[in-house]
A and B are shown apart, each in its own frame.
Chain A
Amino acid sequence: MSAVGSLGKNRSLTAGGAILALLVLAALVGPVLAPHDPLRIDPLHRLAGPGGEYPLGTDHLGRCVCSRLLFGARISLSASLAVSLAILVLGLAVGFVAGLGGPRTDLIVMRLVDIKLAFPSLILTLAVIGALGPSLFSASLGIVLNWWPVYARMVRGLVLAAKEKEYVLAARVTGSRGLKLVRGHLLPQVLPPALLLASLETGSLILVFAGLGFLGLGVQAPTPEWGTMLSEARNYIYTAPHLLLAPGAAIFLAVLGFNLLGEGLREALNLKEAGKW
């Protein structure tokens, strides 16, 4: 049975892929579908229930929840992907330094990574935002500065493995050195799996982004963002509890999509366990 053959039966992969496709679609064509301007205030219809003109009701300022949700998909997805990319670049740099810099450099860099990994990222992210002041930029920077060790460790492992491949050894013997070796022989080996793994981490980034938004430390009002919407809904938990549902469910589904996809891919690529006696 081939890996491709097993993909078809992989329910996690299918479900995750379907959720993510829906999400990307919402982010792309959301502005067209949105019934209203997400920022338009309708003081006469504050905290309206779902139905009629406002499919998912309105928030405390009378803004259309459905429109805000659709626009929020753009923000969550693009911010997470941008941050993911920044982390990947930083992770690639550190990972290559550790993987190619010799055992001493490797030891020191990996120790730093270990120390950082052991320390709860959210607390240090909070510290960075504390220093720079709450904004989308400082939240992103805080996340980048705290999440790179995961990627660095992964890249280092890939580099070490790629370094021992025969044709890379051959290239080294024939005199390829430094950047030429990295660009010509190592990067093509390391980048695809690193990109794959990085995209799977995006789920946890969405979770953190929305969490920071919820705390008021990320995206600032009035920009429509799921976490911020949830934090606004919190004040009306008794009078308009339906406001809790949509933004929370959106965050949950987006993260679930990425996590299911990751679980499914791991299952599909890891044939080792099935073949092990």
Chain B
Amino acid sequence: MVKFLEVSGLRIGFKSPAGLVWPVDGVDLDLDRGGVLGLVGQSGSGKSLTALAIMGLLPRGAVIGGGRIVLGGQDLLQMNPVRRRRLLGRVMFITFQGSASALNPTMTVGRQLAETLVLTRGLSWAKARTRAQELMEQVNLPPELTESYAFELSGGMRQRVLVALALALEPPLLMADEPTTGLDMVTQRIVLDLLAKQKDRPGAAMIVISHDLRAVGLLADRVAVMHRGRVVDRALFKELPQKAVHPHTLELIKASRMLSLPEAVC
């Protein structure tokens, strides 16, 4: 069966004074419709860059040095850039870590939700505003918060607004980059539950990116562990402790066990 998303041999490089360096150096991933893949690794392991490459939103100065990113049978890297950009927000979407800069600091969050629907889905502003309030309620935020600015919200609230954006777009491929980083345990749980609802949408696939194995475990059915630009272990989440071979993976498992509470997944 053809995979929904298939990344193979992906290399991403940066120019440095010492020549080209390759923070992503031959990554292979695949994902079926309805599946949730957890991409785990330390910061700098290349997981976020991989996600950005799939989106086509790599930072300035990054070059793709080889590989294929095939989505729904089409190689994104061979695609005409204009057509590829049209996939954003319609076929795929990514939520960044809910730091203050993930949302525009000078626009109310409600307007940022509403403009998405107006500009990409053709809704009227009146309808979009109503829908924005509904979306806020769906992520357990009071609808009045549509009038607030990002700096007035807590990190957890901002992360939920980003999830609300994902709900507004309902993309077939959703990626969440560090959705729980910097949040307290209770808020982490709320955000993960909201994302878990996302994966129940028919045909939706998700990639959860985190350095925290437990956070990924609540959502993902499969995990890929990245280390220094490569995938060093991949397995069904349940089988990871048995199948892990790379010392880095074993360390991640050990760390998550030490931290885990009795009812947690690991």
Direct contact, A vs B (beta carbon within 8 Å): yes
Expressed in whole angstroms, the minimum distance between the Cβ of A81 and any Cβ of chain B is 34
A275 is an interface residue with CB less than 8 A from chain B: yes
Proximity bits, B1-42, A CB within 8 Å = 1, else 0: 000000000000011111000010000000000000000000
> In which size bucket is the chain B interface?
under 10
Cα–Cα, bound, A232→B59 (Å): 55
Does A1 contact B14, Cβ atoms closer than 8 Å?
no
Nearest-neighbor residue (CB-CB) of A271 within chain B = B17
Interface residues of A in 254-277 (CB under 8 A from B): 271, 274-275, 277
New A-B contacts (10) at CB < 8 Å, excluding given A1-B17, A277-B23, A277-B59:
A1-B18, A271-B17, A274-B15, A274-B16, A274-B17, A275-B16, A275-B17, A277-B14, A277-B61, A277-B62
B contact face: mostly helix, strand, loop, or mixed: strand
Residues of chain A with a CB closer than 8 A to B16's CB: 274-275
Residues of chain A with a CB closer than 8 A to B15's CB: 274
Among A271, A275, A277, max chain B CB count under 10 A is at A277
* Contacts A/B (CB < 8 Å), 9 sampled: A1-B17, A1-B18, A271-B17, A274-B15, A275-B16, A275-B17, A277-B14, A277-B59, A277-B61
- Count of A interface residues, CB-CB < 8 Å: 5
Residues of chain A with a CB closer than 8 A to B18's CB: 1
Residues of chain A with a CB closer than 8 A to B62's CB: 277
Expressed in whole angstroms, the minimum distance between the Cβ of A5 and any Cβ of chain B is 10
Expressed in whole angstroms, the minimum distance between the Cβ of A160 and any Cβ of chain B is 28
Expressed in whole angstroms, the minimum distance between the Cβ of A17 and any Cβ of chain B is 23
Residues of chain B with a CB closer than 8 A to A271's CB: 17
Cα–Cα, bound, A275→B19 (Å): 10
Nearest-neighbor residue (CB-CB) of A2 within chain B = B17
Expressed in whole angstroms, the minimum distance between the Cβ of B17 and any Cβ of chain A is 5
Residues of chain B with a CB closer than 8 A to A275's CB: 16-17
Nearest-neighbor residue (CB-CB) of B19 within chain A = A1
Cα–Cα, bound, A1→B17 (Å): 6
